Amino acid sequence: MNENFDLENMRQQMTTLKNKLNQQEIVNDRLMRRSMKKEVSSIARRNYILMSVALLVIPYGYWSFVKLSGLSIAFWIATCILMLICAGATFYNTHRIDDPGLMSHSLIEARKKVACAKKFDSNWLLFGIPMIILWLGWFFYELYLHNETNFTGAFWGGCIGAITGTVIGLGLHFKTQRQYQEIIDQIEDLITEE
């Protein structure tokens, strides 16, 4: 009789323990999804700011390049096209992950979308770096044509701007890549737990 009571008591304790573990997994899953959603929101917010800056360069570029520095309209138009391409590509990639339900549905689908966004962002450098180098070459050429007397000062100002932009741009790129990887790793952890 006493053995049956002990056995029944142990079964109840095991059932209680299993229920607590299941509840803990549900809470852990919710916390992980919330954390991933926060990372995605951070990336999307930063991308929307970058898109805004790219679009603001268009009117500012006209004033700065054409009116102030006397550079050609063709250079300003090329700059506008480059900024529109950058803003469009950033919007395309952000739209891929900026889905309010991304982390509440299939984790495999979410991982696929985040991985695609990470790859697109990484591959973007293959287009972005050569285009910026060409743009800088044209910029320095325009400066030389229109400011021969003050070319040295303008050249060094352009170099400082290019170095600063490169450092900030690569810093943002690597931070975003790290965030994408953290999201992917968290999704994989959740998938292996299930």
User: In which domain, by residue range, is 162 found?
Assistant: 39-193
- 27-31 average pLDDT score: 62
Number of domains in the chain: 1
What integer pLDDT is reported at residue 7 of this predicted model?
66
Q: For residue 19, is it within any domain?
A: no
- Quote the mean pLDDT of the chain: 84
Output the DSSP codes for 125-139: HHHHHHHHHHHHHHH
Q: For residue 108, is it within any domain?
A: yes
123-134: per-residue pLDDT in tens?
999 999 999 999
Q: For residue 11, is it within any domain?
A: no
Q: What is the pTM for the complete model shown?
A: 0.77
Q: For residue 34, is it within any domain?
A: no
Q: For residue 68, is it within any domain?
A: yes
Q: For residue 138, is it within any domain?
A: yes
127-176: per-residue pLDDT in tens?
999 999 999 999 999 888 887 777 788 788 889 999 999 999 999 999 99
- 88-101 average pLDDT score: 86
* Residue 12 scores a pLDDT above 80: no
Q: For residue 54, is it within any domain?
A: yes
* Pair 62, 79: CB distance under 8 Å: no
Banded pLDDT at 57 (limits 50, 70, 90): very high
Output the DSSP codes for 103-171: TTS-HHHHHHHHHHHHHHHHHHHHHHHHHHHHHHHHHHHHHHHH-STTHHHHHHHHHHHHHHHHHHHHH
The span from the CA of 95 to the CA of 64, in Å, is: 31
CA-based angle 178:180:181, to the nearest 5?
A: 65
Q: For residue 59, is it within any domain?
A: yes
Cβ-based neighbour number of residue 133 at 10 Å: 11
What integer pLDDT is reported at residue 103 of this predicted model?
65
